[in-house]
A and B are shown apart, each in its own frame.
Chain A
Amino acid sequence: MDEWEKIEYKPISVRNLLVEIKNLSELMLDLAYSSALFHSIELAEDVLELEKRVDTLAYLLKMNTMIAARDANDAEALLGVSIVASSANKISDAAADIAYITLREIGVHPLVREVFERVEEHLGRAEVKPGSILVRKTLDELDLAARMGVDVIAVRRRKDWILDPKEAESILEGDILIARGTAAGINELKDLAAGIMKELED
């Protein structure tokens, strides 16, 4: 059975909540399609974890918008915020539905994968092992986009997710990097993160 997190009111700005819900829902969709098309159980599990987080944020956003509305004008003005947040939440649910295709072993016809490999950019996941040369380097220093054509779009650090990490962000041991790029570039990143490859090529 799933564990249900108790929802408690926290004063967080509606704007921050909305930004996070929107960004997470978009990341989830990318992760979910990749999980189904390239049959990645790990990506699918990431999606489900993020889905729980979006649900919690959506509850918090509802409570905070309720408190913000003091009269009819406020209610009218905040309705749009609440609708957009619930739409983004719907998108995260849709992403979770895609992840279930992978997790329930339903699968997608292998020929579909071939086609998507041609048209879509790859999304991959690389776990940073101890001894990897990525450890304690900033994204700026690594310059992965120029070196191997990959772009780190998110970093999972234990329970936290850093979306769209800044150039000054350092990579730590145990981080899980979510990156977008060519298939060859993603594989190179995985080898670097795993410590199989020890040098950065220019």
Chain B
Amino acid sequence: MDKEHFERVVDALVTLKDTSELMLDLAYSSILLNSRELAREVSELEDYMDSLHTDFELLVLSSGFKPEESKDFLGLIRLGVVTEQIADAAAQIAEVVLRELEPHPVLKLAIEEAEETVTSAQVSEESILDGKTLREARIADETGMWILVIKRGKTWIRPRPSTQIRAGDTLIASGYADGEEDFERLASGTARP
């Protein structure tokens, strides 16, 4: 198999894995914040996952592998199937919000306890975060809060150390409750560096 084709297969797998995990983060956050907006995003991502998954399977099947390599490729197909299962589970969680089942207090408490707290803040132009990558921003060191997801306009970005933060981004983060204030100040630009 040529190298270029293989790289496309792997890229597609990485995207599937990232998208399924992003959906899960968003789904739990949608319950915690009782946010129909987040929940709707999860169900839209589910449709997107379906098409990603089909593309991925077609890519794998058109790899032109030899019979003795078939197990290695079966492993790839199976990983793809699992990301789909995770996406389905995430969509099921988000559906609780979309169907307007009032989230039971126990549910919020459980998610809160599991993830401490979840909060969101918009990055202002004055913020020292504007233009920095997540690696440079060291938000976890400064505030004890971890970025779950970045919302930029209509898209949701799963954070990587190299992801650049821009003014206008909404950062959704989880962490210890006492870091919440520092986190909000950092994003709004009122924090002293």
Binding site for B on A (CB under 8 A): 14-15, 18-19, 22-23, 29, 33, 36, 76-81, 83-84, 86-88, 90-91, 93-95, 97-98, 101, 105-112, 115-116, 119
Interface of chain B, main secondary structure: helix
Q: Which of B76, B109, B111 contacts A109 (CB 8 A)?
A: B76
Contact A119 B14 (CB under 8 A): yes
- Known contacts: A18-B110, A81-B104, A110-B72. The answer to whether A101 contacts B92 by CB under 8 A is no
Interchain CB contact under 8 A, B111 and A22: yes
A109-B93 contact given A80-B101, A97-B81, CB 8 Å threshold: no
Report the bound CA distance from A33 to B28 in whole Å: 21
In the complex, what distance in Å separates the CA atom of A75 from the CA atom of B86? 26
Question: For B110, what are the chain A residues with a Cβ–Cβ distance below 8 Å?
Answer: 15, 18-19, 22
Q: Which residues of A contact B46 (CB under 8 A)?
A: none
Is B107 part of the contact surface with A, judged by Cβ < 8 Å? yes
Known: A80-B103, A107-B75, A109-B69. 9 other contacts (CB 8 A): A18-B106, A29-B86, A76-B102, A77-B104, A78-B104, A81-B104, A94-B89, A108-B72, A109-B76
**Counting CB contacts under 8 A, is B90 at the interface?**
yes
From B71, B78, B89, B109, name the one whose CB has the most chain A CB atoms within 10 angstroms. B89
A106 and B107 in contact, given A33-B17, A87-B93, A115-B14 (Cβ under 8 angstroms):
no
For window 96-120 of B, CB contacts with A under 8 Å fall at 96, 101-104, 106-107, 109-111, 113-114
What are 21 inter-chain pairs, A to B, with CB distance below 8 A?
A18-B106, A19-B113, A76-B101, A77-B101, A77-B102, A79-B101, A80-B104, A81-B106, A81-B107, A83-B93, A84-B31, A86-B92, A87-B90, A90-B88, A94-B89, A98-B78, A98-B82, A105-B71, A107-B71, A107-B72, A108-B72
Residue of B nearest to A21 (CB): B110
Confirm or deny: B191 has a beta carbon within 8 angstroms of a beta carbon on chain A.
no
Rounded to whole angstroms, the CA-CA distance of A107 and B69 in the bound complex is 10
Does B85 count as interface, using CB distance less than 8 angstroms?
yes
- Chain B residues with CB under 8 A of A106: 71, 74-75, 78
A101, B79: Cβ atoms closer than 8 Å: yes
Q: Mark B142-172, 1 if CB is under 8 A from A, else 0.
A: 0000000000000000001000000000000
Closest 9 CB pairs of A and B: A108-B75, A109-B72, A18-B110, A94-B85, A87-B89, A90-B89, A80-B96, A115-B10, A80-B101
* CB–CB B82/A94 < 8 A: yes
The count of A-to-B residue pairs whose CB atoms sit within 8 angstroms is 107
Q: Determine if B75 and A109 form an interchain contact, defined as CB atoms under 8 angstroms apart.
A: yes
B10–A108 CB distance below 8 A: no
**Nearest CB of chain B from residue A49's CB, rounded to whole Å:** 19
A111 engages B6 (CB within 8 Å): yes
Decide: A18 and B107 in contact? CB cutoff 8 A. yes
Pick from A36, A76, A91: contact of B24, CB under 8 Å: A91
Contact of A97 with B93 at beta-carbon distance under 8 Å, contacts A18-B110, A106-B75, A107-B71 already known: no
A116 CA to B79 CA, complexed, in Å: 13
Binary CB contact string for chain B from 3 to 25 against chain A (1 if under 8 A, 0 otherwise): 00011001001100100010010
Shortest CB distance B151–A (Å): 22
Q: Return chain A residues, CB-CB under 8 Å to B114.
A: 19, 22-23
Cα distance A101–B74 in the bound complex, in angstroms: 9
- Residues on A with C-beta less than 8 A from B106 are 14-15, 18, 81
- How far is B79's CA from A98's CA once the two chains are assembled, in angstroms? 7
* Distance between Cα atoms of A87 and B10 in the complex (Å): 27
* B73 lies within 8 A of chain A by Cβ: yes
* Minimal beta-carbon separation of A20 from chain B (angstroms): 9
Is A15 touching B109 in the complex (CB atoms < 8 A)?
Answer: yes
Cα of A80 to Cα of B99 in the assembled complex, Å: 10
